[in-house]
A and B are shown apart, each in its own frame.
Chain A
C-alpha cells in the first residue's frame, strides 16, 4: 500500500513539474508570481472550529471513555427508530437506515454491519459524531459518541463487556473484517478484474 501511494505520488509530482515547465496551454505559469497573495492565514481557532476528523491512528479522538450500558440506552432513544431495535435487521421489516449489528462473520454475512464489515473502529466515532443522528446531526456530545461507539462494538461481538474504549484503546481495536480489505490495483489496459 505504501509503495502504491509513493508510486502515485511520484507520478503526480512528475506531471506537476511538466505542467510547471511547459504550462497548461491556457495559462503561462512561468509568468506567475510565487504567491498571488489572495486568502488569509488560518488561525488555530479557525482550524479547531472545523477539524473534527478522527484518523485510524487515533489522532483527533477527544478525552473520555465509552460506557456500554449508557450507549445501549442512548441507542434505544436516538438511533433505534432508524437502525432497528438493538441495531438489528428484523425479517420482513424495512428499516429507513442500515442495520448495524450482527456478528463478526465476514464470510457468512447476509448484509454489511459494523462487526462483519467495518475495517476500522475509529470510523464509528468519526462518522457518528459528524453525521448522526440523521434528524439532529451534530447534536451528540463527545461522551455520548463514545458511549454509542462502545455499545455498537460490544453488540457486534467485537469487544467484551468490561472493555475500556477511549482515545488510546479505540485505535487498537482490531476489526474482524480488516484483513479482507485491499487497495484497488487496477490501472486500465485490456483486462477485466
Chain B
C-alpha cells in the first residue's frame, strides 16, 4: 500500500471507476475488483471479482444473529428453507467458546464398560459414518410481551444442520457397555466443563458423536471439533466440545439438570424433560414486514422432538377456522419442516396463526392451555405455544403479545 494511497471514497466511488481493492494473491498484493454494496450502474460494463479461496455473502444481504451476553439467536425470518447456514446457527454456551487443538482432541469413554477407551478425532472419523439432518432447540426458547418482536426474538434459539459423525452405538460396540448401565454422563471441555446425564436407551437409539456440520467441520460455537447429537432432545443435552462419556447406573444430578432446565408444574418441579414438544411459527409475513392485499404465500417452519410433523394448520381469521398447509418434502423426523399456505388477503385487519400436529398425535397448544395445565408458576422452560400475528389495515404485521411471567 505504501506510496499508493487509495481512499475508501475512491475505492467505492465514481461510476466510471471499477471497484477495486488490494487483494492477497499467489503473486502478492494486487488490485482486484471486489463486490460492494455500491453497484455500478451497468454490471455488464465492469469486470467482476475473480475466483477466490473462500466465498462471502452478497453485500446486499445482511442476515445476522442477535447476540446477548449468554446466547445468539438465528434470524429465522430470513430462512427460505430449513438448513441454517452454520454461521447463523444459534449459540448458547455457559463459559465462552473454547479453542481446542484437533490434533490433541480425545474422547474418553469409561465407567460401566468392559474396556475403557479413548478415541482421537482421527479414530472417530475412521468409523462407519452417518449423516442426519435435525434441529437443535434450546429448552428456554420463548419470549413474548411486545408487539414489535421478530421470529428471531421470539424463538431464535432453534436451528437446523446436516450433521455427520459416528453413531454412538457404533462406539459402544468397541467399549462393551454393561447391560446394567442405565445412564451416562456427557461432559464438555469448555470452561464450564458442562455435564448432563442421559438415559442409555438414547445412546442405543439415535445418539451420534458428530464432527461435521453442513459438510464442513463443526463451527467452534457449535462444539468444534466434536459434539454429542441427541436428535429431538433439548439443546443443553447436545453437549459441545465433548471430552468424556461415563456409564453408570443412576443420573449424576448435575447443576444443568437440577437447578436449571427444570420447571414447576402445579406443586411439583418437572425434571428430565428431554424431548422438545412440537412447535410451529409463521415466519412470513411477520414483524417488521408489511404486506399488500391480494395473494400472500404464508410461510413458516414446524418441528417435533418426538418424530415427524404430521400436519400444519393455518388460520387467517384469528383461530376460528383452520386450513391444511403444504409441507415441503422430504418431511424428516425431528427436523424443521417448511410449510406454505396460499392466502388471499382482503385488506381487513385479522390475525394469522399456525399449529402443528406431530406423528404421536400431539397438537401444539396455546400459551393459555400451557398455563392451565402447568399452573401460574410454570417457569420458562419447554414452552411451545402457538404464535399469532396481527395484520393491520395498513399491511403492517405485529406480534400478538401475551401475558407471561418468567420465574
Residues of A in contact with B (beta carbons under 8 Å apart): 5-6, 8-13, 15-16, 19, 24, 26-27, 32, 34-36, 38-42, 46-47, 50-57, 107, 111-112, 114, 117-120, 122-123, 126-127, 130-131, 134, 137-138, 177, 180-184, 186-193
With both beta carbons as reference points, the residue of chain B lying nearest to A134 in the complex is identified as: B95
A109 CB to closest chain B CB (Å) equals: 9
Interface string of B242-258 (1 = CB under 8 A from A): 01101010111111001
B173 at the interface (CB under 8 A from A): yes
Stretch at the interface among B50-58, B179-187, B222-230: B179-187
Give A55 to B250 CA distance when docked, in angstroms: 9
B266 CB to closest chain A CB (Å) equals: 10
B320 at the interface (CB under 8 A from A): no
For chain B residues 312-326, which have a beta carbon within 8 Å of chain A?
Answer: none
Q: Are A183 and B272 in contact (CB under 8 A)?
A: yes
B250 CB contact (under 8 Å) in A15, A56, A114, A118: A56
**Residues of B close to A32: CB separation below 8 A:** 128, 173
B130 CB contact (under 8 Å) in A24, A130, A131: A24
Interface string of B180-214 (1 = CB under 8 A from A): 00110101000111110001111111000000000
Q: Are B250 and A123 in contact (CB under 8 A)?
A: no
B362 at the interface (CB under 8 A from A): yes
A91 CB to closest chain B CB (Å) equals: 17
Q: Are A38 and B246 in contact (CB under 8 A)?
A: no
**Residues of A close to B365: CB separation below 8 A:** 192
Give A193 to B124 CA distance when docked, in angstroms: 40
**Residues of B close to A107: CB separation below 8 A:** 267
Give A131 to B250 CA distance when docked, in angstroms: 22
Give A5 to B272 CA distance when docked, in angstroms: 11
**Residues of A close to B370: CB separation below 8 A:** 192
Give A83 to B116 CA distance when docked, in angstroms: 39
Give A137 to B307 CA distance when docked, in angstroms: 39
Q: Are B199 and A12 in contact (CB under 8 A)?
A: yes
**Residues of A close to B272: CB separation below 8 A:** 183-184
A94 CB to closest chain B CB (Å) equals: 12
B360 at the interface (CB under 8 A from A): yes
B262 at the interface (CB under 8 A from A): yes
Given contacts A52-B193, A55-B250, A131-B94, A182 and B270 within 8 Å (CB-CB): yes
Given contacts A9-B182, A131-B95, A38 and B126 within 8 Å (CB-CB): yes
**Residues of A close to B275: CB separation below 8 A:** 186, 188
A125 CB to closest chain B CB (Å) equals: 11
Q: Are B373 and A190 in contact (CB under 8 A)?
A: no
Give A15 to B168 CA distance when docked, in angstroms: 14
Give A67 to B118 CA distance when docked, in angstroms: 38
With both beta carbons as reference points, the residue of chain B lying nearest to A10 in the complex is identified as: B201
A16 CB contact (under 8 Å) in B185, B204, B254, B267: B204
Q: Are A55 and B174 in contact (CB under 8 A)?
A: no
**Residues of A close to B99: CB separation below 8 A:** none
Residues of B in contact with A (beta carbons under 8 Å apart): 94-95, 108-110, 115-120, 123-124, 126-128, 130, 167, 169, 173-174, 179, 182-183, 185, 187, 191-195, 199-205, 243-244, 246, 248, 250-255, 258-259, 262, 265, 267-275, 306-307, 358, 360-363, 365, 369-370, 373-374, 407
**Residues of B close to A137: CB separation below 8 A:** 95, 191-193
**Residues of A close to B167: CB separation below 8 A:** 24
Residue from A15, A39, A182 whose CB has the most chain B CB atoms within 10 Å: A39
Q: Are A11 and B201 in contact (CB under 8 A)?
A: yes
A114 CB to closest chain B CB (Å) equals: 8
18 A-B pairs within 8 Å (CB atoms) are namely: A5-B199, A8-B201, A9-B182, A12-B203, A13-B179, A16-B169, A27-B128, A27-B130, A35-B174, A39-B118, A39-B174, A42-B110, A46-B108, A111-B407, A127-B255, A138-B193, A182-B269, A186-B275
With both beta carbons as reference points, the residue of chain A lying nearest to B264 in the complex is identified as: A180
A3 CB to closest chain B CB (Å) equals: 11
Apart from A56-B250, A182-B270, list 4 A-B contacts with CB within 8 A.
Answer: A42-B110, A42-B116, A122-B253, A130-B195
Given contacts A15-B204, A39-B119, A131 and B182 within 8 Å (CB-CB): no
Q: Are B358 and A181 in contact (CB under 8 A)?
A: no
Q: Are A38 and B201 in contact (CB under 8 A)?
A: no
**Residues of A close to B169: CB separation below 8 A:** 16, 19
Q: Are B201 and A9 in contact (CB under 8 A)?
A: yes
Q: Are A36 and B110 in contact (CB under 8 A)?
A: no
**Residues of A close to B374: CB separation below 8 A:** 193
Give the top 6 A-B pairs by smallest Cβ distance, nearest first.
A12-B201, A188-B360, A16-B204, A127-B255, A42-B116, A130-B193
**Residues of B close to A119: CB separation below 8 A:** 253, 258, 269, 271
Residue from B116, B258, B306, B362 whose CB has the most chain A CB atoms within 10 Å: B258
A133 CB to closest chain B CB (Å) equals: 11
**Residues of A close to B254: CB separation below 8 A:** 53, 123, 126-127
Q: Are B306 and A188 in contact (CB under 8 A)?
A: yes
